[in-house]
Amino acid sequence: MCSTSSLVKWMSVSSLVLVVLAITNLAPAQSGSGSKRKLTQHGVPVASVAKSAKRQAPPPVTTETWQGGGSGNWSLATNWNNGAIASGDNILINLTTAATTDDQSYTIGTLTLSNAGDSVALNNNVQTTVTGNIVNNGTITMNATGNVTELYMNNALTLSGTGSIVLTSSTNQYTGQLDGKAGTVLTNSSSITGAGIVGANDLNFINSGVMNANISGKTLTVNPDACTTCTNTNTGTLEASGGGVLSLVGGTWTNTGGTIEAQTGSSVYLNSNVVSIGGTLTTAGSAVI
């Protein structure tokens, strides 16, 4: 009897120890499981955000460099080192002499003509939008023959370089234009010439370069945004030469350090309450302001 009683007691104690050990081991397992769940819950959103950010990243900007030789159309993919122009591509023309033709409307980034012999002629009815700065050491021509033909500036940018933007006119239809989004500021240290429309009541100007109406008997109209808070600054030259007519229409010009000039046989007109503050207004020979 005593032996049986001792055996029962020993089994009861052993069972109790096993239960305690089981409970003790269960707690860390549950704690570890919870940690894993927490890691998983926090890990998924981080990965998701990273993937989302990767999906939303803009594509890299490509620079299209002209390789079409001495002449050719922009629309021909083989004329460019990276194939056909895509929206937002930067355009680089850097041969000694390359007479290129923009034969359809594009939206591009920057536009660079590296040399005096490099040129771009926009065909009639082409409207190309530029979102980056223009460096023009050659010639950019709007070959308008009745339809709006323009470089359109979608945001503030600079026009620099030793070359010229040339606006043309056919049968007094002034459809060659350099304009942009309302309130956009064009900072110009280059040359804008010919007959057509600059500003189109949308652009404002910081001009240290030249705007020259230099086609005999035809008008270059400079028409800035005339909003009450809009201002234009000229420290360069606004002029008419070669029998051309420069028409400044509306807006306020701070002309301190700048010149508004009509050369012999040419005219400058100040229209629609245009205001000129400071600077020099000058004529030569039979010129008129």
pLDDT tens-digit map of 147-176 = 999 999 999 999 999 999 999 987 777 889
* Domain spans, the chain: 1-57, 63-283
Check: CB of residue 245 under 8 Å from CB of residue 266: yes
- What does the alpha-carbon distance between residue 114 and residue 96 come to, in Å, rounded to a whole number? 8
- What does the alpha-carbon distance between residue 80 and residue 89 come to, in Å, rounded to a whole number? 11
Q: How far is CA 266 from the centre of its chain?
A: 35
The pLDDT assigned to 257 comes to 95
The pLDDT assigned to 5 comes to 52
Which residue has tokens 């309302």?
182
Encoded tokens for 82: 């990276």
Encoded tokens for 27: 């707690």
The pLDDT assigned to 227 comes to 86
According to DSSP, the β-strands at 134-136 and 111-113 are parallel
Query: Please, which pLDDT band fits residue 6 given cuts at 50, 70 and 90?
Result: low
Check: CB of residue 173 under 8 Å from CB of residue 146: yes
CA angle 119, 108, 85 (to 5 degrees): 80
